[in-house]
Structure 1
Amino acid sequence: MPRRFLAPLALLSAPLFAAEPVSYSRDIQPILTDKCVACHACYDSPCQLNLGSGEGVLRGASKAPVYDGTRTQAQPTTQLFMDAHGETAWRNKGFFSVLQPQAGQAALLARMLELGRSNPPAANAKLPDELDIDIARENQCPLPGEFDAYARKFAHAGMPFAVAGLSDAEYATLQRWLQQGAAVDEQALQPSPAEQRQVADWETFLNAPGARESLVNRWLYEHLFLAHLYFEGGEAGHFFQLVRSRTPSGQPVDPIATRRPNDDPGSDFYYRLRPIQGVIVHKTHITYPLSAQKLKRTRELFYASDWTVDAVPGYGAHRRANPFETFQAIPAQARYQFMLDNAEYFVRTFIRGPVCRGQIATDVIRDNFWALFQDPQHDLYITDAEYRAQATPLLAMPGQFDDIGDLLGLWTSYRDKRNEYEDLRRETYAQAPLPGWSTLWAGNDNALLSIFRHHDSAMVRKGLIGEVPQTLWLMDYPLLERTYYQLVVNFDVYGNVSHQAQTRLYFDLIRNGAELNFLRLLPADSRKAYLDDWYQNSGKLKMWLDYTEADFDTPSGIVLPEPGAKGAFAQRLLARYASLNARPDPINRCKDAECHRAGLPSDLADAEQALSRLSSRPASGFKVVEQLPEATLLRVERADGRREVYSLLRNRAHSNVAFMTGESLRYQPGLDTLTVYPGVLTSYPNFVFSLRADEVPAFVAAMERVRDQAAFDRVVERWGIRRSHPEFWRYFHDLSAYIRETEPVEAGVLDMNRYRNL
């Protein structure tokens, strides 16, 4: 039934009632996409109010936060499009409407918009200090009867929150829609005929009968459930999700909701591909390509060899804890190669994060590092059946049981298993051929990856970006698979403190293992100095308490000078694999005074040459670094109306990243540096500068002169786009437009929950 409410007197006007009906799909969702979705999407949407779809708008809001690192009990899951369908079902789960008027008052959405409109921020001025915009702030989520008290206490916390607001036309349209009953007429996205054919091909493959097929398809589902799948020759903006459904192909999808993708579905099911509904947001947009060639490749990988399985394993905590045992019948070569073919996707799933906010993972990694992969032919887990049989029982992972009282016992048992595995690995590899350049997988441009952490988020890019980092990772199959299962498949964002602590602690061991693997490529006598540098101060205590010893004896097959071995390795890596390095980086690794990309027009070449002066300089002598947030974006406008976008990433230095708490105690701010690179290298911009190409030298010079807050404020006043800027949304969404132009498959609305008040 249509909703009605008594609107405030200011809104009761003849034109309001005489206007033609407002369409949600045509008129309302575009406004929400433009002004609301940047904050209200995914699990970190304030009050769980997701405004990226009609289903989310109708679901409404909840006082229960998804992120809670202190809860003692796991809470019920509230996955949109999965755990409930329709308003009534969501009301039964504790969500309250933001569209329905109550007790003679306008709907919550109308009142929030009116509060924001009546208290707009001063144009391009800093927001009041008392207005808390931190990502970790406590959201109030007032019920209708609590709104008056909320408005009195938080007069500047109307919507859109702490940012330039709606235009007059947008405000009037939204209020008119609410006045007319707030009907939602959203139409589900439908696949094109070409996409339907490919959906049918993949569903036929994924639901093929047989024990081998059931096991392979289960493994594939657990590795692709998070992906935004897209088809070769498909429609722009069309993406699909792999789900388990009660219904077979040809019938409407009826998804089975489980806490984890490897939980027991509880009934017969079919693997189905369903279109992803709602607005695509960049932070959850982890893409994976499907095509006829990919289907052929998958068949070849898993079915080319003659292997058998007696029975498909069941479900349960033991099966979740050790996927190496669960799927041991599938050739390890096939599993590893499938992941290597699209290694960037798999690293993105756990580095960008499956749950929007990735601090469980990111507070255990450094702010920038490179990742390499061990070639399957040099991975003993793949090639040596006896070693594989010994290693597999030791690869179980914690987090399946969340008994707080036994947290220490659970952790130490899995830590000891991991260290027993590392001892076995070290001893077995010491007897194997020495590692050389052929140890590194070089199958395609997924082979070299760069990772940048921005406090509680992170991103991955193909290619080697930035200066040579402090650490590099070398991941073999056991490390890559464990990381994926620990941080993606088995991680429960709704879990309790014990589950989350076990996840965090084990990933610390994974990082350590990847570092130890890399060290074996360097001369034996050089390794201890590097390890001591990575684990300074309290890190040495952690090495003694929780880590197994490194291999300081077995030689490397790569001949490198002992002094500066890591730098020499990096230079040879860049030279040997230049054809695989998807993103050459002359700005941060300048040679022969040419500090810009080749082939640029002169204005951009000059701009990049100037920007290179900002990169790789420690903050102790380059004070502006101390003023910059983690991820700043720079719009450079050219005379012809086009523009380029650059990311200025602050790489924070730490004595070690080996502990769950106390990060500030290990922070070394004087060693912070900047990486400058073309493109949008974050889902969460912290700030935007916009300037003309001919102003770049002046901008860089001004940044070089910054010695204190006042000097930085002058830079912000001249070129900065504050949250209160009258054209904030034009500049902010232009970043998404840039991604759409340069990498259309990766385009999505960026998140502004972390946009700073500079």
Structure 2
Amino acid sequence: MRNLILGISVWLLCAASSLAQPLSYTKDIQPIFTERCVACHACYDSPCQLNLGSGEGVARGASKLSVYNGARLKTQDTTRIFVDAFGAPAWKEKGFHDVVAQKEQQVALLGRMLQLGKEQPFEPNKRLPEKLDISIDRINQCVTDTEFDAYAAAVAHGGMPFGVTGLTPEQYDTVQAWLKQKAPIDWKVWQPDAYEQQQIAKWESEFNKIGARESLVNRWLFEHLFLAHLYFPDSKEGRFFQIVRSRTPIGEPIEVINTRRPNDDPGLKFFYRIRPVPDVIVHKTHITFELNDEKLANIDQLFYQNNWVNDKLPAYGAVQSANPFKTFEAIPAQARYQFMLDNAEYFVRTFIRGPVCRGQIATDVIRDHFWAFFQDPKHDIYVNNAKFRKESTDLLAMPGQFDDLGDLYHSWKKHRKIRNEYEDLRREYYSYAEVADWGHIWSGNDNALLTIFRQHDSASVRKGLIGDVPQTMWWLDFPLFERTYYELVVNFDVFGNVSHQAQTRLYFDLIRNGAEVNFLRLMPPETRKTYLKSWYQRAGKIKAWFDYTDIDKKTETALALPEEGAREAFAQQLLMRFEAINARADYINRCYTGKECFNPNLDQEMADTEQLLSEIASIPAKQLPIINFLPEASILRVQRSDASREIYSIMRNRAHTNVAFMIGESLRLQPEKDSLTVYPEVLSSYPNFIFNVKTYDMPEFIRLWKSIKTQQDFTQMVDRFGIRRTHPAFWFYFHDVAAHIKESQPIEFGVLDMNRYENL
């Protein structure tokens, strides 16, 4: 006993001694923030804009203004980290307050928040108190030093980390010791190595070529790559770059030009530069794009092989931003479209992980699960028919450039009118064009087939056709693809007012409708009206009549599909004909026979697991009531007998009578038709819950899922298999999900977001 006490005393002395030594933010503090804080405090949706993914974010502090506010009447000043200001004094001028400074003998605000969390722990793996609002729509008080005492008295469980298992004792002591040392921040942006500098020089040279043609192409490329996390094939793991506009030329330190949008006027003289992505990589904003020699050669071939002429550069401004088809009309449309097709997953990811980041503004307008594919450039009339291109380009202008509240209705009415004029013109031209066959669907690489999942206010995309045959599919041509990109990415201002955001949402509704209607051209003419009615039920009928133009009910298709079950027959042929480029086979969700519903390459233990999982996939909630209690995106962690694990996503696909309105979604739900997609991969940046099940418990787990009918049944199942926010090992399980991404797709690895992790 004496030896034990002596040992503990020595350990305590050593620990105290180590904490008395100067602590490094980079080595000692950022790893703690990355493990326990960044899951909430990253991107625009960081509570109180407190971004803990870098020393710059910590020094910036917190703000009472929320970035996400769809109801604000005035456009808000931009507060983009690494863009709009640098250093604590500059951020203070923008209204941010310090969270790490000690005032007199008072513990820093961050330290007091952590202390409050430590003093009010939660019961292990039990539900959080009902009164504790953990929703992402909660009102964050964002208190200052002087407001903290009142906050702590009012919100006993409002300490940090919020609503989740806290720091370990060692982590807590380390952060508090660092704060007592006046929170020194030795953080610096990492620097490229020799190989990366060589690659940067090569690409900066490409992006800054001299000439009117070259300048126009590079402007287009910048507007399409400004969100990308660029990487080089032989870079060190986890090192990414981004392209920016700088006042300084190649070879000099970068001075970022902080325009509100990437297509705003940068000034008279600027240069495209490549700089490191400085903060912790988080999955929800991680949009990867490889820069390699093949891409470089492809850009030169696509954009410069034809002897097209450009003798002047278009101006910058609202008119040019509204219509990129007009701004970049000198660049061959085939080149622009082909570049987007070759990198289609990247571009669809920008819709989802881009400036929206928390995307209900956009996601309200899409189904919970659908497939997307593209028209072949050889059969896109905008690409190939100069007469149609000339007649239609002016009709492709988009709203959102002017955000006066009084002009909202008139702007929307104007753009709806010209969009429908475009659709009428397009329908007329296609009625005389070659009848669509399988060759009209682009199949150039594995970007050709995509699956999109919506999870209420977020979404995800993957290459390949995942899940059961969806209710709707999108067939995108160049004007649809490019307008979606500009409406949701380039022209979308996350700091914009209600008018701007409403115009964005309303016009995207028209784009979705255009993609669905284009898909109908592949269906037998006599089925098209029936399919359209099934997509726009109840009040959707009024919206379809009032806002959309007519569909083509006469022009034939060359696909020879049966009238009965045409959509399902199309899906089966699509899967067979494009099997070679379908990036993700799905053995679980489309296994209608119930015989071998598993990946044939699996060992017996996991094959048995997938066979069991197929029993809950693609079944309506009317037959599987547990779906009514499940969140949007659950993670199933299956632990093998050797203690290794596999990760599956369980996506809840909510059914709707229509998705044509901005509000009132609950009135349009069809819960009895909800279903699950089960897939062996992480399909969301925002896990809503984690279940941990050993393989030998899988039969019982599935039996329970098939038998649950009440909330009490569901809670008992969660008690047994669930990893609640209060689980002692919560952070291990949460980060193990991201670890699976790192093992299987290391380039795509990033810290996952837990702001939507539910209190089941």
Tell me the TM-score normalised to structure 1 length.
0.98
- In the alignment, which residue of structure 2 is the partner of 1:129? 130
> Partner residue of 2:726?
724
Match of 1:329, as an amino acid? A
- SS where residue 553 of structure 1 aligns? coil
Match of 2:49 in 1: 48
Amino acid at match of 2:203: W
Distance 2:347 2:327 in 1: 20
2:614 partner SS: helix
1:195 matches 2:160: no
One-letter amino acid of the structure 2 residue matched with residue 66 of structure 1: V
Mapped contact 1:624–1:703 kept (Cα < 8 A): yes
CA distance in structure 1 between the partners assigned to 2:420 and 2:167 by the alignment = 56
- Residue of structure 1 in register with 2:638 after alignment: 636
Superimposed CA distance per residue, residues 360-394 of structure 1 (whole angstroms, 9 cap, x where no aligned partner)? 11000000000010000000001000000011000
- The 3 A distance-change label for structure 1 pair 171 and 14 is closer
Superposed, 1:684-695 pairs within 5 Å as 684-695=686-697
- What is the rounded CA distance, in whole Å, between the counterparts of 2:28 and 2:373 in structure 1? 47
Aligned counterparts of 2:107 and 2:47: Cα–Cα separation in 1: 21
Aligned length: 748
Paired position in structure 2 for 1:250: 251
Contact 2:355 2:493 in 1 (8 A): no
Asked if structure 1 preserves the Cα contact closer than 8 Å seen for 2:588 and 2:610, the reply is yes
Which whole-Å CA distance do the structure 2 matches of 1:425 and 1:599 have between them? Answer: 47
Identify the residue that residue 648 of structure 2 maps to in structure 1: 646
Determine the C-alpha separation between the residues in 2 that align with 1:368 and 1:669: 15
Equivalent position of 1:299 in the other structure:
300
Q: Does 1:668 align with 2:664?
A: no
Question: Is the 1:243–1:255 Cα contact (8 Å) retained in structure 2?
Answer: yes
**d(CA) in 2 for partners of 1:303, 1:624:** 57
Q: Please, what TM-score do these two structures have when normalized by structure 2?
A: 0.97
> Can you give the 5+ residue segments of structure 1 that lack an aligned partner in the other structure?
1-10
Paired residue for 2:707?
Answer: 705
Deviation at 1:591, TM superposition (A): 5.6
Give the 5 Å matches for 1:352-391: 352-391=353-392
Equivalent residues of 2:264, 2:317 under 8 A apart: yes
Aligned partner letter, 2:27:
R
Question: Could you tell me how far 1:695 is from its partner in structure 2?
Answer: 1.3
Cα 1:17–1:575 shift into 2, 3 Å: closer
Question: Matched residues in 2 for 1:163 and 1:267: separation?
Answer: 50
**Secondary structure of 1:614's aligned partner:** coil
Counterpart for residue 506 of structure 1: 507
Paired residue for 1:107?
108
Compared CA separation, residues 277 and 18, structure 1 to 2 (3 A): closer
Measured after TM superposition, the shift of residue 232 of structure 1 is 1.2
Match of residue 161 from structure 1: 162
Of 656, 659, 682, the match for 2:658: 656
- CA deviations 1:467-492 (Å, max 9, x no partner) are 00000000000000000000000000
SS across alignment from 1:645 = strand
Aligned-residue offset at 1:17: 9.4
Distance 1:709 1:199, change over 3 A: same
Alpha-carbon separation, structure 1, partners of 2:503 and 2:667? 22
Call closer, same or farther: CA 1:622–1:14 in 2, change over 3 Å.
closer
Q: In 1, distance between residues paired with 2:708 and 2:316?
A: 59
Distance, in Å, in 1 between the alignment partners of 2:214 and 2:415 is: 31
1:678 maps to which residue?
680
Contact residue 16 and residue 176 of structure 1 kept, 8 A: no
State the identity %: 61
* 1:202 aligned counterpart, secondary structure: helix
Deviation at residue 266 of structure 1 after TM alignment: 2.2
Distance 1:34 1:493 in 2: 27
> Residue 624 of structure 2 corresponds to which residue in structure 1?
622
1:256-294 residue CA offsets vs partner (Å, 9 max, x unmatched): 111100001124111011010111000000111110111
Contact 2:19 2:174 in 1 (8 A): no
Q: For 1:406 and 1:735, locate their aligned partners in 2 and report how far apart those are by CA, in whole Å.
A: 47
> Equivalences for 1:290-369 in 2 at 5 Å?
290-369=291-370
Seen in structure 2, the aligned counterparts of structure 1 residues 18 and 157 have a Cα distance that, compared at 3 Å, is: closer
Map 1:274-285 to 2 at 5 A.
274-285=275-286
What is the alpha-carbon root mean square deviation over aligned residues?
1.3
Quote the Cα distance in structure 2 between the aligned partners of 1:195 and 1:665.
Answer: 53
Q: Which runs of 4+ in 1 moved over 3 A?
A: 11-18
Describe how 1:165-176 pairs up with structure 2 within 5 A: 165-176=166-177
2:607 is paired with a residue of what secondary structure?
Answer: helix
- Partner SS for 2:702: helix
The one-letter code matched in structure 2 to 1:706 is: I
Cα contact 1:459–1:682 (8 A) shared by 2: yes
Structure 2 segments unaligned to the other structure (5+ residues):
1-11
Deviation at 1:190, TM superposition (A): 1.6
Query: Could you tell me how far apart the structure 2 residues matched to 1:241 and 1:139 are?
Result: 31
Amino acid corresponding to residue 338 of structure 1 in structure 2: F
CA distance in structure 2 between the partners assigned to 1:15 and 1:291 by the alignment:
50
Letter matched to residue 711 of structure 2? Q
**What is the CA–CA distance in structure 2 between the aligned matches of 1:48 and 1:658, rounded to whole Å?**
32
Correspondence list, 1:70-219, <5 A = 70-102=71-103, 104-219=105-220
Counterpart of 1:671, as a letter, is K
Residues in 2 aligned to 1:146 and 1:14: alpha-carbon distance in whole angstroms:
33
Contact 1:38 1:752 in 2 (8 A): yes
Matches of 1:187 and 1:502, distance apart in 2: 40
Report deviation, 1:188: 1.6
* Cα distance in structure 1, aligned partners of 2:16 and 2:637: 41
Q: 1:232/1:17 Cα in 2 relative to 1: closer, same or farther (>3 Å)?
A: closer
The code of the aligned residue for 2:747 comes to V
Separation in 1, partners of 2:470, 2:542: 24
Give how far 1:102 is off: 2.7
2: CA distance between counterparts of 1:104 and 1:495?
A: 41
- Matched to 2:481, the amino acid is L
The Cα shift of 1:640 comes to: 2.1
Q: Over residues 26-77 of structure 1, what are the superposed CA-to-partner deviations in whole Å (9 max), with x where a residue is unaligned?
A: 0000000000000000000000000000000000000000011111110100
1:497 aligns with 498
Amino acid at match of 1:343: A
Q: Which residue of 2 aligns with 1:19?
A: 20
Give 1:406 shift: 1.1
- CA distance in structure 2 between the partners assigned to 1:180 and 1:351 by the alignment: 41
Q: Any idea what SS the aligned residue of 2:242 has?
A: strand
Q: Is the 8 A contact 1:40 1:52 kept in 2?
A: yes
Tell me the secondary structure at the aligned position of residue 315 of structure 1.
coil
- Aligned partner of 1:748 in structure 2 is 750
| Contact kept? 2:116, 2:159, Cα under 8 Å | yes
Answer yes or no: is the 8 Å Cα contact 1:352–1:460 preserved in 2.
Answer: no
SS at match of 1:656: coil
Kindly provide the amino acid, as one letter, of the partner of residue 658 in structure 1: A
AA aligned opposite 2:727 = H
Which amino acid is the alignment partner of residue 390 of structure 2?
Answer: A
Amino acid at match of 1:258: T
438-447 or 639-648: bigger deviation: 639-648
Which letter maps to 1:641?
Answer: A
> Which residue of the partner structure matches residue 561 of structure 1?
562
State the shift of 1:424 in Å.
0.2
* Cα displacement string for residues 90-135 of structure 1 (whole angstroms, at most 9, x for unaligned residues): 0111100001123542110000000000001111000000000001
Quote the Cα distance in structure 2 between the aligned partners of 1:735 and 1:366: 26
Q: Measure how far apart 1:191 and its partner are.
A: 1.5
In the alignment, which residue of structure 1 is the partner of 2:537? Answer: 536
Contact 1:216 1:330 in 2 (8 A): yes
| Number of the residue aligned with 1:5 | none
Equivalent position of 2:455 in the other structure: 454
Aligned to 1:611: 613
Using a 3 Å threshold, how does the CA distance of structure 1 residues 60 and 18 change in structure 2: closer, same or farther?
Answer: closer
Q: Is the 8 A contact 1:607 1:694 kept in 2?
A: no
Q: Deviations over 1:412-467 (max 9, x none)?
A: 00000000000000000000010000110000000000000000000000000000
Q: Distance in 1 between matches of 2:355 and 2:573?
A: 34
Instruction: State the shift of 1:198 in Å.
Output: 1.1
